A and B are shown apart, each in its own frame.
Chain A
Amino acid sequence: MYQYDEHDQRIVDERAAQFRGQVQRRLAGEITENEFKPLRLQNGLYMQLHAYMLRVAVPYGLLSSAQLRALATIARDYDKGYAHFTTRQNVQYNWPELEDVPKILDLLASVQMHAIQTSGNCIRNTTSDPLAGIAADELEDPRPYCELIRQWSTFHPEFAFLPRKFKIAVTGSRTDRAAVRIHDIGIRIVDNDAGERGFEILVGGGLGRTPHIAKVVRDFLPYEHLLSYLEAVLRVYNRYGRRDNKYKARIKIQVSEWGVEKFAAAVEEEWGHIKDSATALTRAEIDRIKGRFHTPSFEALPNEDLDALALTSDREFARFLKNNLRPHRVPGYTAIVISTKPKDRAPGDVSDSQLEALADLADRFGLGHVVVMHDQNVMMPNVKQADLKAVYAVLEEWDLHTANAGRVTDQICCPGLDFCNLANARSIPVALRIAERFDDQDYLDDLGDVSLKMSGCINACGHHHVGNIGILGIDKAGVEAYQLMLGGDPGDEASLGKIVGRAFSSDEIVDAVSTVLDTYATQRESADETFLDFYRRAGLDPFKESLYGTD
């Protein structure tokens, strides 16, 4: 967990004070709503259908127990008792009053948190691998680099009014769990042939109206040049990215219109002027940032026999052990996924008392912190295997024990028409119906890992293009309808889902998902062939046939 120093603290304190002034001026009518909009947006405050929505930054998803408690207080005192985890490892509140937001920012600042640049056309929260720091295949923990990027991008004076929002992700592992290929900039920690540490830089990925997979603009960047290179990319984008059309203003469009060679050449030219400036990182500064993370020290423990534990436990706990654990590189430890998706709750919603329960759990059993994941779940990364039973008992008490991590019902879903004023269709009610329909856990386990992602409109906040099953809400002559896509995947072999055929009505969509799952279950080669493997082998045809017949 990165600990702020006095400088970091002063910045978030002064930001809270600044926004208090801006809110006062807005309430006094000194600034118009139009002028206030970009200011509130740079503090993560959106106008939604019914109320303001406040988005709080959770840098690279990491939360301490003290921060969880502050989030619980905000949920209780300034919202309707809920916080909502997003696909960008952030937290959202759907019901704050404008007058209360300065108080919320003060509370956040008191636990080293903020809402800086969580919206607006600026550099957003840098995201990372939820298994950062514990994955066996990790070259180096990416989070100190995320923190360096966070500091560099915070109030960067040149890049506060970019053509569009800008998202960066960093991974330090060979397997990409940070979806770097669907970010404006994706950064992979790599070693070159000479064994030197550096970064591979990908630019121009993104979902939305025109999804793109990012392209490599530099296959090896020596580590000390990270920030100057980012600065060069941002400058080329800020100067030449399209501003005439909101939907063409993301960097992915610039890269695809220019071609990656021309884009990379422009960045190299710009970078040549600044690479040896004082922005260059030093080993000492990187080590200093790493030191402030206070990496936990692990005990020397034996691995437990988890299979034996599962055999002697009740079915639900056994299922939890099978589905919700993720490997930890230190013997005797495990990471656990805490699903925010029981049958009856909107994905990502967590109550104030659940947040407090998580904080207590983290203190007792998790070395004091949790990680917000891209799929809106929460991970406790450092649990002793010997404590699993005790942890599960607490999770069960708080209805946080749903054993569906990675299963179809572990779905991602944007707020949709219930909250969002851009939506074409509702998404939460569909998600709830899907959860209700597929409540046979044995069937879900038999299907294995299948990701289902849903967005209420083409802006793709639910990342539907990279769901194995993607659902997109559309407006069909004034009626909500749902397009079904298959085959998306955000990982190393990143691929975008393909539309199967005509859209489904709200009444039909859950049946359609059921048909898709049955088609896979009956036609796969063996239980080892995952949904994605089956799709990649057999293509859309078997699904088309079972969904629409042969005509």
Chain B
Amino acid sequence: MALIKHNAVAPAELWTTLAADQPVPATGDVLVDLERWVSEGEALRARADRVGVLLQPDDDVLGLEGTLDGLALIAVAFPKFTDGRGYSSARLLRDRLGYTGELRAVGHVLPDQVFYMRRVGFDALELADGKSADTAIAQLGEFSVTYQAAADDSRPLFRRVARPA
């Protein structure tokens, strides 16, 4: 599972994903679900090691409003690449909640989706098993022009450049 950060291959990281009923270990970086982060945030923030949230497609990302301090990572799960809810979650995190920390796509993340993922605000991509990081990095720059505003640029094309009349 190659990890790409800011358009380059990054060293693998060890995060333990905790099930809802699994106790929080004393040490080590952990990913918790949205509900646990919201309800146990204070205790989680007191840990020495890092804590991140793993968002599922049907989680309401706006539930993170006001709780972003102390979050080391937000991972957005794509159980199937055809489930596009995570794109809206990312967009809302960046544009609506003003999240500036690491936003990582995880799960069925394929090279051919990464261009869209980068545009909605993902700065880290954990590719699906066996997928080529080189292909994915090449795809990140597949298009040199985009029409619409997104998390990477709040202006649509006609406000970025002077388009000819």
Taking beta carbons and an 8 Å cutoff, which residues of A are in contact with B? 5-7, 10-11, 14-15, 18, 22, 25, 30, 35, 38-39, 121, 151-162, 227, 235, 238-239, 243, 273-274, 277-279, 282, 285, 288, 291-292
Assess whether B39 is interfacial by the CB under 8 Å rule: no
By a CB distance below 8 angstroms, the chain A residues around B156 are: 152, 227, 278-279
With A10-B144, A151-B147, A159-B84 in contact, do A288 and B112 touch (Cβ < 8 Å)? no
Assess whether B127 is interfacial by the CB under 8 Å rule: no
Contact B85 A239 (CB under 8 A): yes
Closest 4 pairs (CB-CB, A-B): A161-B84, A157-B119, A157-B116, A151-B147
By a CB distance below 8 angstroms, the chain A residues around B142 are: 14, 18
With A152-B156, A159-B84, A160-B87 in contact, do A30 and B147 touch (Cβ < 8 Å)? no
Contact B148 A10 (CB under 8 A): no
Contact A288 B87 (CB under 8 A): no
By a CB distance below 8 angstroms, the chain A residues around B132 are: 30
By a CB distance below 8 angstroms, the chain A residues around B17 are: none
Assess whether B51 is interfacial by the CB under 8 Å rule: no
Q: A285-B158, A288-B165 are in contact. List 7 more A-B contacts (CB 8 A).
A: A7-B163, A159-B87, A161-B81, A161-B87, A278-B155, A278-B156, A279-B148
Q: Which of B83, B143, B146, B165 contacts A161 (CB 8 A)?
A: B83
State A153–B148 Cα separation when bound (angstroms).
8
By a CB distance below 8 angstroms, the chain A residues around B96 are: 273
Q: Which of A25, A155, A274 contacts B143 (CB 8 A)?
A: A155
Assess whether B100 is interfacial by the CB under 8 Å rule: no
Q: Which of A5, A239, A277 has the most CB of B within 10 A?
A: A239
Assess whether B22 is interfacial by the CB under 8 Å rule: no
Contact A7 B84 (CB under 8 A): no
State A11–B144 Cα separation when bound (angstroms).
8
Nearest CB of A to B163, in Å: 6
With A38-B82, A158-B87, A161-B83 in contact, do A288 and B163 touch (Cβ < 8 Å)? yes
Assess whether B18 is interfacial by the CB under 8 Å rule: no
Sample (13) of A-B pairs whose CB atoms are under 8 Å apart: A7-B157, A11-B145, A14-B144, A35-B110, A151-B148, A158-B91, A159-B87, A227-B148, A238-B87, A239-B88, A279-B149, A279-B156, A288-B158
Hey, what's the 0/1 contact readout for B83-126 against A, CB within 8 Å counting as 1? 11101100100011000000000000010110111011000000
Assess whether B6 is interfacial by the CB under 8 Å rule: no
Nearest CB of A to B73, in Å: 21
State A6–B164 Cα separation when bound (angstroms).
9
Hey, what's the 0/1 contact readout for B68-90 against A, CB within 8 Å counting as 1? 00000000000001111101100
Nearest CB of B to A34, in Å: 10
**Interface size (B, Cβ < 8 Å)?**
40
By a CB distance below 8 angstroms, the chain B residues around A6 are: 164
Contact B149 A157 (CB under 8 A): no
Hey, what's the 0/1 contact readout for B133-165 against A, CB within 8 Å counting as 1? 001000100111111111000111111010111
Contact A154 B147 (CB under 8 A): yes
By a CB distance below 8 angstroms, the chain A residues around B112 are: 22, 35, 38-39
Q: In this complex, what residue of A is CB-closest to B161?
A: A7
Nearest CB of B to A23, in Å: 12
State A14–B142 Cα separation when bound (angstroms).
7
Q: Which of A25, A30, A161 contacts B82 (CB 8 A)?
A: A161
State A278–B152 Cα separation when bound (angstroms).
13
By a CB distance below 8 angstroms, the chain A residues around B150 are: 157-158
By a CB distance below 8 angstroms, the chain B residues around A5 are: 163-164
Contact B145 A10 (CB under 8 A): yes
Contact A238 B164 (CB under 8 A): no
Contact B88 A235 (CB under 8 A): yes
Nearest CB of A to B123, in Å: 14
Q: In this complex, what residue of B is CB-closest to A38?
A: B82
State A158–B158 Cα separation when bound (angstroms).
19
By a CB distance below 8 angstroms, the chain A residues around B81 are: 35, 38, 161
Q: Which of A22, A25, A155 contacts B116 (CB 8 A)?
A: A155
By a CB distance below 8 angstroms, the chain B residues around A39 are: 112
Q: Which of A35, A152, A155, A159 has the most CB of B within 10 A?
A: A155
Contact A156 B148 (CB under 8 A): yes
Contact A160 B116 (CB under 8 A): yes
Q: In this complex, what residue of B is CB-closest to A163?
A: B84
Q: Which of B91, B143, B163 contacts A11 (CB 8 A)?
A: B143
Contact A155 B146 (CB under 8 A): yes
Contact B149 A238 (CB under 8 A): no
Q: Which of B84, B95, B117, B135 contacts A25 (CB 8 A)?
A: B135
Contact B88 A278 (CB under 8 A): no
State A288–B159 Cα separation when bound (angstroms).
13
State A285–B158 Cα separation when bound (angstroms).
7
Contact A162 B84 (CB under 8 A): yes
Q: In this complex, what residue of B is CB-closest to A42?
A: B112
Nearest CB of A to B56, in Å: 13
Nearest CB of B to A224, in Å: 13
Nearest CB of A to B40, in Å: 26
State A517–B82 Cα separation when bound (angstroms).
46
State A18–B112 Cα separation when bound (angstroms).
10
Q: Which of A35, A158, A235, A278 contacts B154 (CB 8 A)?
A: A278
Nearest CB of B to A279, in Å: 5
State A152–B164 Cα separation when bound (angstroms).
17
State A238–B117 Cα separation when bound (angstroms).
15
Nearest CB of A to B65, in Å: 12
By a CB distance below 8 angstroms, the chain A residues around B163 are: 5, 7, 288
